[in-house]
């Protein structure tokens, strides 16, 4: 593994994010789990050669970003926490090779030590499923490195009685306060409603239906509804059988202003977004 990022890879910073967001269509983020226990594809890509092959396949299919994660955060399934050492052991054999493919890479981790390692190798974006509120070292690290960060809404437990959108807004206010105090510029922040995380199936759908209410923050929004459990609440299915529901959710998210779509199924998502855009352009 190379110890330094490829010179062809753009450095982490606001220009990477700005370039992605200036495109007419939402950017498509391809999911790459180098884990044994992720809810949809656990174990499929933990071998370095399989992970690299998967990254290449998603790039060829039109992925604008590769999001790599080495710890399962699967909602509802009792994912077991792993140490930073565990994550690093899974990332080290493959991360620099994926960065060298030349497409921006994001690191899906809630641990500052893991994110620091990834940024050192040329990863462009930090993706924190706890929105800067779990690891106290995350916000200062992001600020010091000048990296864009995806701030995801999360909850320790599900509460079906709450207004989930109000909860999301309050969570994001806390995250943005943490970011501001650390010195993270607002133009480096993306909000993620965290579909499926700390939410009932009904609340996940409400979060999507009311996605436009996040416009009050004036920040780009990422949506990752790919293969999530709420789809099965409408149409019973296993994760691998939820492509249609994932596409439907992502098209609605795009119509409501989402600027990044995170998906396991890159080719199909890219096609759906292009066709929807082509149809809308004829109005």
**Could you give the residue numbers annotated as active site?**
228, 262
Pick the range with the lowest mean pLDDT from 4-8, 45-49, 271-275.
4-8
Indicate whether 8 pLDDT > 50: no
Domains with residue ranges and CATH for the chain: 14-280 (3.20.20.20)
Residue 72 confidence (pLDDT): 80
pLDDT in tens, 198-234: 999 999 999 999 999 999 999 999 999 999 999 999 9
DSSP 124: -
Strand ranges of the sheet holding 125-128, from the earlier edge strand across to the other edge: 189-192, 149-152, 125-128, 105-108, 65-69, 27-33, 260-263, 222-223
Q: Are 125 and 148 in contact (CB under 8 A)?
A: yes
pLDDT in tens, 106-160: 999 999 999 999 999 999 999 999 999 999 999 999 999 999 999 999 999 999 9
Residue 45 confidence (pLDDT): 66
Indicate whether 34 pLDDT > 80: yes
DSSP 217: G
Indicate the pTM of the whole model: 0.91
């Amino acid at each position: 593994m190379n110890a330094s990022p490829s010179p062809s890879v753009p450095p982490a910073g606001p220009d990477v994010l700005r370039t992605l967001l200036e495109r007419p269509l939402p950017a498509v983020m391809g999911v790459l789990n180098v884990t044994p226990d992720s809810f949809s594809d656990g174990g499929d890509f933990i071998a370095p050669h399989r992970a690299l092959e998967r990254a290449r396949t998603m790039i060829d299919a039109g992925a604008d970003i590769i999001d790599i994660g080495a710890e399962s955060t699967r909602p509802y399934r009792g994912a077991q926490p792993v140490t930073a050492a565990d994550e690093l052991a899974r990332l080290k054999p493959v991360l620099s090779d994926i960065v060298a493919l030349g497409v921006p890479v994001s690191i899906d981790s809630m641990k500052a030590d893991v994110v620091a390692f990834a940024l050192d190798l040329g990863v462009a974006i930090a993706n924190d499923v706890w929105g800067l509120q779990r690891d106290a070292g995350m916000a200062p690290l992001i600020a010091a490195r000048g990296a864009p960060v995806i701030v995801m809404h999360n909850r320790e437990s599900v509460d079906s009685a709450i207004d989930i959108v109000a909860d999301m807004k309050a969570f994001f206010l806390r995250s943005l306060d943490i970011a501001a105090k650390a010195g993270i510029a607002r133009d480096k922040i993306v909000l993620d409603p965290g579909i499926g995380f700390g939410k009932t199936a009904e609340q996940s759908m409400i979060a999507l239906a009311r996605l436009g209410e996040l416009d009050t923050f004036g920040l780009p929004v990422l949506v990752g509804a790919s293969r999530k459990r709420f789809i099965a609440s409408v149409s019973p299915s296993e994760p691998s059988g939820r492509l249609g529901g994932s596409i439907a959710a992502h098209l609605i998210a795009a119509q409501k202003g989402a600027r990044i779509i995170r998906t396991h199924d890159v080719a199909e998502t890219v096609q759906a977004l292009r066709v929807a855009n082509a149809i809308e352009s004829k109005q």
